[in-house]
Chain A
Amino acid sequence: MEQPPDSSLRNRIIPALVVVVIVALLSLFGLSLWSPGSTSSLGAGGRINEVGQLVRFDDGRTAPTFSLRTFDGQQISLDQFQGKTVVINFWGSWCPPCQEEAPILEEFSRNLDPDVVIIGIDVWDRQEDAAAFIKQHGLTFPNGIDEDGAITIDYGVSGIPETFVIAPDGRLLGKYSGPVESVEQLRGMIRDLMGAG
Chain B
Amino acid sequence: MKRSILVSLLLVVGLLITPPLVAAEEALSPEALEIADALNCPVCEGLSVRDSNSQLSQDMRRQIQRMLDEGKTRQEVLDYFVDRYGVGVLREPPKEGFVLTLWWGPVIGLAVGVVVLATFLRQRRARGKRAVATGDVDEAAGADLQAYEQRLLREIDRMDAPTS
Binding site for B on A (CB under 8 A): 1-4, 7, 42-47, 94, 123-124, 126, 148-150, 152-156, 158-159
Cα-based distance from A149 to B49 in the complex (angstroms): 14
- Name 17 interchain pairs, CB-CB below 8 A, sorted by A: A1-B117, A2-B120, A42-B13, A42-B45, A43-B12, A43-B13, A47-B13, A47-B43, A148-B59, A149-B58, A149-B63, A150-B63, A152-B59, A153-B59, A153-B81, A156-B83, A156-B85
In the complex, what residue of chain A is closest to B8 when comparing beta carbons? A42
Are A149 and B17 touching (Cβ within 8 A)?
Answer: no
In the complex, what residue of chain B is closest to A156 when comparing beta carbons? B84
**A47-B43, A126-B20, A149-B59 given. 10 additional CB < 8 A pairs?**
A42-B44, A43-B13, A44-B17, A45-B16, A45-B55, A46-B56, A123-B55, A126-B19, A153-B59, A156-B83
Cα-based distance from A42 to B43 in the complex (angstroms): 7
B56-79 residues with Cβ-Cβ distance < 8 A to A are: 56, 58-60, 62-63
In the complex, what residue of chain A is closest to B60 when comparing beta carbons? A153
Interface flags for B29-50 (1: CB within 8 Å of A; 0: not) read: 0000000000000111100000
Are B116 and A46 touching (Cβ within 8 A)?
Answer: no
Shortest C-beta distance, A50 to chain B (Å), equals: 14
Are A124 and B16 touching (Cβ within 8 A)?
Answer: yes
Shortest C-beta distance, B66 to chain A (Å), equals: 8
Are A158 and B59 touching (Cβ within 8 A)?
Answer: no
Interface status of B164 (Cβ within 8 A of chain A): no
Cα-based distance from A44 to B117 in the complex (angstroms): 52
Instruction: Identify the interface centre among A42, A44, A152: most chain B CB within 10 Å of its CB.
Output: A42
Interface flags for B4-31 (1: CB within 8 Å of A; 0: not) read: 0000010011001101100000000000
How many residues of B are counted as interface, with CB atoms below 8 angstroms from the partner's CB atoms?
Answer: 29
Are A149 and B55 touching (Cβ within 8 A)?
Answer: yes
Across the interface, A153 reaches (CB within 8 A) one of B19, B20, B63, B116, namely B63
Are B20 and A158 touching (Cβ within 8 A)?
Answer: no
Interface status of B123 (Cβ within 8 A of chain A): yes
Are B120 and A1 touching (Cβ within 8 A)?
Answer: yes
Shortest C-beta distance, B156 to chain A (Å), equals: 30
B79-115 residues with Cβ-Cβ distance < 8 A to A are: 81, 83-86
Instruction: Give the chain A neighbours of B84 by CB distance below 8 A.
Output: 153-156
Instruction: Give the chain A neighbours of B85 by CB distance below 8 A.
Output: 156, 158
Are A42 and B12 touching (Cβ within 8 A)?
Answer: yes
Cα-based distance from A149 to B19 in the complex (angstroms): 13
Instruction: Identify the interface centre among B9, B54, B81: most chain A CB within 10 Å of its CB.
Output: B54
Are A124 and B127 touching (Cβ within 8 A)?
Answer: no
Cα-based distance from A42 to B87 in the complex (angstroms): 21
Nearest 9 A/B pairs, CB to CB: A149-B59, A156-B84, A158-B42, A124-B55, A42-B13, A47-B43, A46-B43, A1-B120, A156-B85
Cα-based distance from A128 to B86 in the complex (angstroms): 33
In the complex, what residue of chain A is closest to B55 when comparing beta carbons? A124
Cα-based distance from A124 to B117 in the complex (angstroms): 55
Instruction: Give the chain B neighbours of A3 by CB distance below 8 A.
Output: 123
Instruction: Give the chain A neighbours of B44 by CB distance below 8 A.
Output: 42
In the complex, what residue of chain B is closest to A150 when comparing beta carbons? B63
Instruction: Give the chain A neighbours of B116 by CB distance below 8 A.
Output: 1
